[in-house]
Structure 1
């Protein structure tokens, strides 16, 4: 390093687990490289971040959350608790009200760099005002950013198809990517207030020094080069992940930020009794709470397919066992749970610990960015069930670019609060699971070979001398040069 004095880095994670966890772990990477990192967040969220790092140069600065000003109860500070649009709207309003306090703090004690989530676009102009670089974090892949950019163009073919379910090819990409209009976000199909926010985030990105990505560069090298090109060649992109691979012990893997509802020993004990590649892991992220009718279809498919499974079901953690009869078949408990063929976790599951176990051979997933990179890092192929956000884009990466996923056949993008609005039947689910887990099928063997190879590349990337480690060191060096030239 040209200067041994550490950087003063302020990080602003969005108040949602899928954003907070990876950005805070990126903060841990910086602090492990002897840089000073301060996470700016609220008291309730700070409590869940204390396990990220015990490094003396990693600290958390809290700001009072304006819950009462927007009509929220005390302690409701995270989008994990938002189960409807009005609550989410109040939360987002409260987040915008934090700007004044955050700016005041950063003006009184200026950092050398601001690394902020895309949901804080104002940090781009603020960083320019105080003369420091701003790095943006998107909580997804550059591949998804590329597709988002492609469909925002006025000549995107989704404007000219005759129906929502007519396939079209997104033009001018490195691969042939086929989608339907129904799989695109609502704000792409019909411009709304969120469309305007997307444009604000894009403009803020163009004013920023670069993008930091929780991924490894080898996984999306073509799209990184492509995205830089379409963004005018000005933006720098630093792949520094996967951050999940920084968790080395089983205890760390089991308790990343959120305390899991199952003991690490119980989970490992169950998995250790299973054959290699024999278990399906089922989880749909931190925001999806399916209705009982959809849970019943999943349960019937899991029972019928015959494979061992671990199923994480959110929104049921305070439910009594006898209430499960509403969303499982009558003989499910007797035939599946008591025989130890299946394990249901009602609440937060130790996902990385599960995926990294050799008995796990498939993942039924919503294709959220964190779930995808964690599965790839562990070498586990995915049955894709996209729901909202950028999930359908990432499904296409898994199935159409890399061939490491099997589509369940979900047709419609929905808001997270409408998950399960259109029920996916058990026959579709079972068919995808059988296709994913058929160890004798040549296509499945090739899929497993590819994803195991990618998993090895991910592990090498985060090691000293690997691509992600090098990118982190380069970014630190460049930021120090900017600081020193300024002084």
Structure 2
């Protein structure tokens, strides 16, 4: 028993405070604990509350896992109490304050590292300074990348070759050098910090420098999905990399676990959306969700509503309510009228603010998804074997779209062209209802979609196999944990 304990890995996980980064990292932390590591997740009070049920459940099942809560400086920054996550921002000013608040956490986090003396730090990419912390403790720092190896390669080759420099027009497409597939992109589709130098460019250069100095990268992906790009990534960056995904499928197996991920749904009394889904035929419903950070303009919401209605297909649409003073009046009235009309026709179902996405994607009636191309949503859809309508909005989402549509061939594009964070997209960036109708009809009822469905289903089966004993992601996790144990022994 002594040796066992001596060999138990103490691992600290440090997630970034936004759902797209936090959810996969918490799932990964839980995986480590389920395979014998002693895990500590450092986060703030409000963020801890969203994951506590899952952590307590693991702890009560005998796994060594806990959260370590640090103080978020809301008061100091003039932020409302409890606003500690990027998803809770309602204005760009608020966003800036949260970014600043996250940076202010460094001294507190450093002292937790000193106190707990871990054997390894798994750090979100947006804490580049943890590479120094790990060096001081003489332990490995793993760079946690919550997106695809493909998008990572795209970022690096655009940074390196700057193929868009000197183009006469921003809408002119250019090929990205270095990739395994011929991928063309217009500057308007590139991440804003790559298009033109700004504060984010400086931060990202620091992030990339820390990546190359890390012991390795931990990635929520799987070999059967993008093995070629995983190899390209390793060779390009020159560090080790382990893909251990899809972590959401690995960790959330029961309906209750799926319902509690990121929030909580009581399944004892059947929710109205579940009754509605149960009444629909297999593969007949389109699930529409733009993730937790998207803010769509009123004009765009109107186009989506009419597009969904005009397509004639059943749909479930997750709509975020506007906050106080967020111009909610007109939009709220429009959406309430729309919701009443859909109830009457029984064609559509609206879920306000948050939906248990894993449960809905796995429901037999769900036949496809309209997605903003966030990597978590993509992996969750792939795990459920579903084809996608791609509607990227910002960050690496346009790169993910190219991967889905051109490489995997399981996506239909609506033709979004402007990479912009939040609802700052001008009228020129709005996708019209006709484009949505066309994409829905292609995905839900065309000859083309039959082949797409076959490919999506094949990837869904591969996603299930890769996390089973002997599967690629399973073996990667075991190999990584063994390697970390050897490093621990060599230090002792």
- TM-score normalised per structure 2: 0.93
Q: 2:41 aligns with which of 12, 26, 39?
A: 39
Report the Cα offset of residue 88 of structure 1.
1.3
User: Shift of residue 104 of structure 1?
Assistant: 1.2
TM-superposition CA deviations, 1:278-325 (whole Å, max 9, x none) = 100000000112122211111111111110000000125999x99766
Given the alignment of the two structures, is residue 425 of structure 1 paired with residue 432 of structure 2, yes or no? yes
Question: Is 1:236 paired with 2:233?
Answer: no
Change (3 A) 1:269 1:206: same
Q: Take 1:100 and 1:334, find their aligned partners in 2: how far apart are those partners?
A: 51
Matched, 1:309 2:309: no
Match of 2:58 in 1: 55
Q: Tell me the equivalent position of 1:130.
A: 137
Structure with the larger helix share? 2
1:416 deviates by 2.3
Indicate whether 1:214 and 2:220 are aligned. yes
Q: State the aligned residue count.
A: 479
* Aligned match for 1:157, one of 141, 156, 163: 163
- The alpha-carbon distance between structure 1 residues 35 and 419, as it changes in their structure 2 partners (threshold 3 A), is farther
Partner of 2:76: 69
Q: 1:416 aligns with which of 419, 422, 428?
A: 422
The residue correspondences of 1:174-323 to structure 2 (distance < 5 A) are 174-231=180-237, 233=238, 235-245=239-249, 246-260=251-265, 265-316=271-322
Q: Secondary structure at the match of 2:54?
A: coil
State the distance in 2 between where 1:224 and 1:360 align: 30
Partner of 1:452 in structure 2?
A: 457
List per-residue Cα deviations over 1:318-339 (Å, max 9, x = no partner).
99x9976643496x44542223
The secondary structure found in structure 2 opposite 1:173 is: coil
Distance 2:169 2:68 in 1: 50
1:399-414 to structure 2, matched below 5 A, reads 399-414=405-420
Is residue 133–residue 208 contact of structure 1 (8 Å, CA) maintained in 2? yes
SS of equivalent residue, structure 1 residue 152: helix
Assess if the C-alpha contact under 8 Å between 2:54 and 2:260 holds in 1: no
Could you tell me which runs of 5 or more consecutive residues in structure 1 were left unpaired when the two chains were aligned.
none
Question: Which runs of structure 2 are paired with 1:438-449 in the superposition (5 Å)?
Answer: 438=445, 441-449=446-454
Contact 2:42 2:70 in 1 (8 A): yes
2 CA distance for matches of 1:289 and 1:413? 13
1:116 equivalent to 2:118? Answer no
Aligned to 1:336: 342
* TM-fit CA distance, 1:162: 1.9
Task: Name the CA distance, whole Å, in 2 between partners of 1:317 and 1:346.
Answer: 13
Mapped to 2, the partners of 1:116 and 1:96 lie a distance apart of 14
Pair 1:396 & 2:402 matched: yes
Which structure 2 segments of 5+ residues have no match?
none
For 2:153 and 2:265, the matched residues in 1 are separated by: 34
Instruction: Answer whether contact 1:461 1:468 (CA < 8 A) is retained.
Output: yes
Q: Would you say the 8 A contact 1:299–1:329 is kept in 2?
A: no
TM-score w.r.t. the length of structure 1 is 0.94
Report how far residue 102 of structure 1 moved. Answer: 1.1
Distance 1:382 1:455, change over 3 A: same
